[in-house]
Chain A
């Protein structure tokens, strides 16, 4: 027992690593605040392009979505981070991370929004158009609000995944929570900092998991 406390819950190391981890936690929050809205907007754009009246545009969106869903996010991130310098493009870590996240999460959000838009009956669009709204207004005021309500569980679930994905940024040396924790671990030769990071992630994301469970059960039962 003493042994386990020493290795995973070492109070002395907690006090030492705390400032570093707190800074990392701040970076993680900033990262989430950047990549979640960007991914959402990108996904919305992808979904709307997928509804285009031109077949070529629709096909290109499907190819885009499947292409970027086929890559594990870490692979995308490392390839952008390690590969682009060979093309003479040197991006700072944070830009690589944002770019990789935009490509990956917009594909996933795009699929969620697409399912939502397709779940709204075409009568809704026709009715909206016949009241004199233009195509854009129809999408914005009539189709999207219903679409988002219909896919809310998937939307929340995807957002949770994106929030967890920010931990991948540690691999390209962006000093977010997991990177700071791993740094502290390698200095102290003790796993306590990683336990601390886990606790911080739990504190941040557990409420989202609970929320998700509730709306998921509601939506599956109402089918």
Chain B
């Protein structure tokens, strides 16, 4: 009997055991939903914070500009996993308990804010000076010029780099698994260790493909579309 089991059968049994897959599918779906809403929250709050910081920095008040520059540099230089562990294990020592979900959310939001602030700022600086002068000379205030003349042009320029960065950071939600967030990766590895079978991992891989292949293709589309417009 044993001798009849071929290499191929063994491979199928380890990676595509349908019974095990059916058993762990609900867990993977839970993880899928969690990954989705965690990523959406991060993208919304990270981009909003980044835009806010870029606008504050445009006023060029030395103290705020300096603080924002330091913040952006630190968050861009630190590996996000280091910061997640720091929040998760460090803050309870000073009486502040963050869940793994909150630690991941806060970290990735700050990282996205840092990167997007730099990208928005680069866009603002790249808008020709004549645009500022023309806007101000029509009687618009500094804030109005920024809001109605400069930002609309700056944001257009920043769409491709911003899209790529946002996608990369949304994928980093997988880091949450290290501090016990039940997202896709966590559900898949838990399933794998309970069942002693790699099928939950394959299921998790499929979930990531379903979630991120469209996003990657969307990023590609944004890049070519905006490149075409620039030419």
Q: What residues make up the interface of A, taking CB atoms closer than 8 Å to B?
A: 3-4, 6-8, 66-67, 69-75, 78-79, 82-83, 86-87, 160-161, 164-168, 170-171, 178, 181-182, 185, 190-191, 194-195, 197-198, 201-202, 205-206, 208-210, 213, 216-217, 220-221, 223
A201 CA to B208 CA, complexed, in Å: 29
| CB-CB under 8 A for A71 and B208, given A191-B86, A221-B126 | yes
Q: Is the CB of B85 within 8 A of A213?
A: no
Q: What residues make up the interface of B, taking CB atoms closer than 8 Å to A?
A: 11, 14-15, 73-74, 76-83, 85-86, 89-90, 93-94, 118, 122-123, 125-126, 157, 168, 171-175, 177-178, 184-185, 189, 192, 197-198, 201-202, 204-205, 208-209, 211-213, 215-217, 220, 230
For residue B153, give the distance in angstroms from its CB to the closest CB of chain A. 12
A71 CA to B201 CA, complexed, in Å: 13
Query: Which residues does chain B contribute within 8 Å of A69, judged by CB atoms?
Result: 212, 216
A117 CA to B147 CA, complexed, in Å: 37
CB-contact partner of B81 in A167, A190, A217, under 8 A = A167
Q: Is the CB of B94 within 8 A of A171?
A: no
Q: Is the CB of B185 within 8 A of A78?
A: yes
Q: Is the CB of B79 within 8 A of A201?
A: yes
| CB-CB under 8 A for A201 and B78, given A75-B185, A191-B93, A210-B73 | yes
Q: Is the CB of A221 within 8 A of B125?
A: yes
A38 CA to B13 CA, complexed, in Å: 34
A171 CA to B89 CA, complexed, in Å: 16
For residue A95, give the distance in angstroms from its CB to the closest CB of chain B. 18
Q: Is the CB of A217 within 8 A of B122?
A: yes
Query: Which residues does chain A contribute within 8 Å of B11, judged by CB atoms?
Result: 87
Q: Is the CB of A201 within 8 A of B77?
A: yes
CB-contact partner of A213 in B89, B118, B178, B230, under 8 A = B118
Q: Is the CB of B73 within 8 A of A191?
A: no
| CB-CB under 8 A for A223 and B126, given A4-B94, A82-B189, A201-B77 | yes
Query: Which residues does chain A contribute within 8 Å of B212, judged by CB atoms?
Result: 69-72
A218 CA to B204 CA, complexed, in Å: 42
A66 CA to B211 CA, complexed, in Å: 13
Q: Is the CB of A3 within 8 A of B185?
A: no
A88 CA to B204 CA, complexed, in Å: 20
Q: Is the CB of A161 within 8 A of B168?
A: yes
Q: Closest B-chain residue to A194, C-beta based?
A: B86
Query: Which residues does chain B contribute within 8 Å of A7, judged by CB atoms?
Result: 90, 93-94
CB-contact partner of B205 in A73, A75, A182, under 8 A = A75
A75 CA to B31 CA, complexed, in Å: 13
Query: Which residues does chain A contribute within 8 Å of B168, judged by CB atoms?
Result: 161
Q: Is the CB of B201 within 8 A of A82?
A: yes
| CB-CB under 8 A for A190 and B123, given A69-B216, A75-B208, A206-B77 | no
Q: Is the CB of A191 within 8 A of B90?
A: yes
A205 CA to B79 CA, complexed, in Å: 10
For residue A162, give the distance in angstroms from its CB to the closest CB of chain B. 11
CB-contact partner of B77 in A75, A181, A202, under 8 A = A202
A217 CA to B168 CA, complexed, in Å: 21
For residue A122, give the distance in angstroms from its CB to the closest CB of chain B. 14
Q: Is the CB of B189 within 8 A of A72?
A: no
Add 12 more A-B contacts to A69-B212, A87-B14, A209-B77 (CB < 8 A): A8-B93, A72-B171, A72-B175, A74-B172, A75-B204, A78-B185, A79-B201, A83-B202, A164-B80, A171-B178, A201-B78, A220-B126
Q: Is the CB of A170 within 8 A of B81?
A: yes
Q: Is the CB of B86 within 8 A of A208?
A: no
For residue A63, give the distance in angstroms from its CB to the closest CB of chain B. 10
Query: Which residues does chain A contribute within 8 Å of B74, judged by CB atoms?
Result: 202, 206
